[in-house]
Amino acid sequence: MDRTLRGVGVSHGVAIGQVRRMGTAVLEPPATQIPSEDAPREQARAQQAVDAVAADLIARGNLAGGEAQGVLEAQALMAQDPELMADVQRRITVGSSAERGVYDAFAAYRALLASAGEYLAGRVADLDDVRNRIVARLLGVPMPGVPDSDEPYVLFARDLAPADTALLDPTLVLGFVTEEGGPTSHSAILARAMGVPAVVALPGATSVTEGVVVAVDGSSGEVLIDPSEEKQAELRRAAAERKAALASSSGPGQTSDGHRVPLLANVGGPADVPAALAAGAEGVGLFRTEFLFLDDSAKAPSEERQIDAYRKVLEAFPEGRVVVRALDAGADKPLDFLTPADEPNPALGVRGLRTLLEHPEVLDTQLRALAKAAEGLPVHLEVMAPMVADRVDAKAFADACRKAGLQAKFGAMVEIPSAALRARSILEEVEFLSLGTNDLAQYTFAADRQVGSLARLQDPWQPALLDLIALSAEAAKATGKSCGVCGEAASDPLLACVLTGLGVTSLSMGAASIPYVRAALAKVTLAQCARAAEAARATDTADEARAAAQHVLSGE
């Protein structure tokens, strides 16, 4: 019997497949005493689980290759550490169950590392991950982290952090459904980058049964549990027809009366370039360089590695525009070597440009690497800073770019309401603005972008957000400079028309959204976009704004 659940659709398309759940952190096993005659059996169980986890880590390492392989092999060694294993066996002898023995032995080892002054967050996180894997296996619950599967599946999770997804095999993930996460969460961004349908903020997502077939509609936000064969066929047919219609749209982004709005791609590294090219991206509007840093969060990638990655992206767009964002670490993208571990409120703490100004060596290396990567290429390189609060921030970033000898335009992201309110003063220091509407919504509404229950406030159609976008675009126009949008707002086809009407000069999004936005823009004139923007801003809620824009643009 099919059942329909409703969340927020954040990445278009329909995915049909079996549910695989992402295991969450393991609960503490009960500390009940076992009878002494059970000890040998429990000891054997513990040994078996440790061996299986070590073998699994090595196999995953072989699959992943590169730096991830080294990390996973080191974790396998941790699992089989003879002293740790001896402690597990000893604890079982005096009455612990296998899972409790593992849990307590790892806790003691963790404390030992700390007292020896070796409290390296990276090692401790790896140690906890190994413990969780062994305990999960012993308890018979899903492994924490990405599911093990050779078959394609729909991934169900509480939420997805960038680090969780490093080992995700894009050929196996048909779509995502998460319980938490708003339209601007990393789950949503990742789904768009991978071009797979996704629904977020779906209450009860983590209790959907493993293995059941679901149909995920990433546009409407509906998730059908166990749909009939006829329903599956109907959904597949509709999705194929829509895809075919979109594939026929091509060329640069423009309204029906020829007003050009370059459609650019958001990328996380060279791996995202083929999809951007296939979608006809006119360049890159946001290169999220932090993904290069997530492989090993204990140190920065070398200058050579950075040059190599930047060059591969720059080479893909000869004559095109590539906007590289300086490292945006902190808050939902913490890096062990940069992000303070004890901030009371990381989203309001040292993140983005603030981190770079506290660690100028990281910024200087990155800018130098970019300058070398761009040498001799005909690309239009632009570099921007995340989380610029005011003119002082903008000047500090522009100074650092000049010092690095970068032949590029320097820009500022508008992600904090203060930057939108004082956009003109920021434009005294930099040459362009780029609206990061995900964070701009988060900070305008004081609504954490990772909290699914606040999705209403993270809705980019909120009129207050449209007002801040309008302020930024007007400031750029008055100074003859450009103001793009690279937040997720740009990937909503209807909203893309409204943004154009507000005066935004380019739209950057996950590659999979480009055909949808291109098709929507091609149907309307600039004057209609401006009227839709005005109508949306005249309302008081996101739903009303959407309806008002729809009314104007469809000519109803």
Q: Which residues are tagged catalytic?
A: 186, 486
**Token match 């290396």: residue?**
365
**Binding site partner of 437, from Mg ion, ligand PEP, none, Cβ cut-off 5-8 A by kind:** ligand PEP
**Binding site partner of 355, from Mg ion, ligand PEP, none, Cβ cut-off 5-8 A by kind:** none
| Alpha carbon distances (Å) from 252 to 11, 263, 395, 496 | 22, 7, 33, 14
The 3-state DSSP composition of the chain as helix, strand, coil percent (nearest 5) reads 50, 15, 35
Phi, psi of 376, rounded to the nearest 5 degrees: 80, 0
Binding to ligand PEP (CB under 6 A): which residues in 166-195? Answer: 189
From the list 7, 147, 195, 487, which residue makes contact with ligand PEP (rule: CB under 6 A)?
487
From the list 286, 326, 371, 394, which residue makes contact with ligand PEP (rule: CB under 6 A)?
286
Nearest to 506 by CA among 519, 521, 528: 521
Question: What is the smallest separation between the CB atom of 163 and ligand PEP, expressed in angstroms?
Answer: 14
CA dihedral 513, 515, 521, 523 (to 10 degrees): -130
From the list 415, 429, 459, 492, which residue makes contact with ligand PEP (rule: CB under 6 A)?
415
**Contacts of 159 by beta carbon, 8 Å cutoff, 6+ apart:** 178, 179, 180, 181, 185, 187, 450, 452
Question: What is the smallest separation between the CB atom of 542 and ligand PEP, expressed in angstroms?
Answer: 17
314 to 343: interface string for ligand PEP, x by CB under 6 A: --------------x---------------
From the list 182, 262, 436, 515, which residue makes contact with ligand PEP (rule: CB under 6 A)?
436
Question: What is the smallest separation between the CB atom of 386 and ligand PEP, expressed in angstroms?
Answer: 7
Nearest to 56 by CA among 159, 116, 132: 132
Question: What is the smallest separation between the CB atom of 486 and ligand PEP, expressed in angstroms?
Answer: 5
| Alpha carbon distances (Å) from 145 to 104, 221, 320, 497 | 22, 24, 38, 38
**Helices then strands (H, E): number in the chain?**
22, 16
From the list 96, 355, 437, 472, which residue makes contact with ligand PEP (rule: CB under 6 A)?
437
Query: Which spans of this chain sit near Mg ion (rule: CB under 5 A)?
Result: 415, 436, 439
Answer yes or no whether residue 439 interacts with ligand PEP by CB under 6 A: yes
From the list 288, 321, 391, 422, which residue makes contact with ligand PEP (rule: CB under 6 A)?
288
From the list 146, 161, 486, 509, which residue makes contact with ligand PEP (rule: CB under 6 A)?
486
Nearer to ligand PEP, 222 or 488 (CB): 488
Answer yes or no whether residue 438 interacts with ligand PEP by CB under 6 A: yes
Q: What 8-state DSSP symbol labels residue 445?
A: T
Nearer to ligand PEP, 99 or 439 (CB): 439
Nearer to Mg ion, 442 or 500 (CB): 442
Residue 18, burial from CB neighbour count under 10 angstroms (0-12, 13-18, 19+): middle
Nearer to ligand PEP, 180 or 439 (CB): 439
The count of chain residues that interact with ligand PEP, using the rule CB under 6 A, is: 11
Nearer to ligand PEP, 54 or 267 (CB): 267
Please tell me the distance from the alpha carbon of residue 433 to that of residue 444, in angstroms, as a whole number: 18
Query: How far apart are the two ends of the chain, measured CA to CA in Å?
Result: 38
Phi, psi of 479, rounded to the nearest 5 degrees: -105, 5
Question: What is the smallest separation between the CB atom of 270 and Mg ion, expressed in angstroms?
Answer: 21
Give the residue nearest to Mg ion (CB): 439
Nearer to ligand PEP, 129 or 415 (CB): 415
Cβ atoms of 510 and 266 within 8 Å: the answer is yes
| Alpha carbon distances (Å) from 383 to 29, 168, 510 | 49, 29, 19
Nearer to ligand PEP, 144 or 162 (CB): 162
137 to 156: interface string for ligand PEP, x by CB under 6 A: --------------------
Nearer to ligand PEP, 306 or 438 (CB): 438
Please tell me the distance from the alpha carbon of residue 196 to that of residue 13, in angstroms, as a whole number: 7
CA dihedral 230, 232, 234, 236 (to 10 degrees): -150
Burial code (b: 16+ CB inside 10 Å, e: under 16) for 82-116 equals: eebbebbbebbeebbbbbbbbbbbbeebeeeeeee
Which stretch in 8-16, 310-318, 432-440, 548-556 sits in contact with ligand PEP by CB under 6 A?
Answer: 432-440
Using CB under 6 A as the criterion, which residues of the chain lie in contact with ligand PEP when the complex forms? 189, 286, 288, 328, 415, 436-439, 486-487
